[in-house]
Amino acid sequence: MPRAVTVTSSTSTSTSTSTSTSATLPQPPGARLRTGAIALTQVVALSALWLLADWLRGRLGLPLPAGLLGLLALAALLFSGAVRGGWVRRGADWLLGEMLLFFIPAVLAVVQYPELVRHQGWRICAVIALSTLAVMVVTALVVEQVVRLELRLARRARRATHNRQQHHA
């Protein structure tokens, strides 16, 4: 039985009112398989990037984890335009969606070492809480700076357009 895809479209007017319509379209045969194959290919590509980063870390004796090196490499590739976001989006979405599965080995390790948890558990929890807080603060600061940059660029573009219009008038 073919699955259906829900398509939602929105329209907006200058008075900030919007309307939304939703329609269900049949999904073409093989679309789900094709989407899965694309996601799998992207996960393999992201894994290959991590493996390359791990190899470089070991070869060059870098003190950074392979995951961080791979993240920096992917960010550089994305920002340079060598890799487009769409080329890794589905794979990254799947990895993020299934992230909880990657914590199972850590949970099993905790179960194997109850003595460690009994004596060091509060320190482990403190590190988890502080690192989570640090990630949230840094994320908020970065988002704020990006929004400010976007607003500045939009103002600059509006001024340039306004100046061109006045110059041609």
So where are the chain's domains?
Answer: 110-169
123-146 per-position pLDDT tens digit:
988 998 999 999 999 999 999 999
Name the pTM for this structure: 0.49
* Coarse DSSP helix, strand, coil percentages of the chain, rounded to the nearest 5 percent: 75, 10, 15
- Sequence-ordered list of residues with C-beta below 8 angstroms from that of 3, at least 6 positions apart, any chain: 27, 32
106-124 per-position pLDDT tens digit:
778 778 888 888 888 899 8
Distance, CA of 96 to CA of 104 (rounded, Å): 15
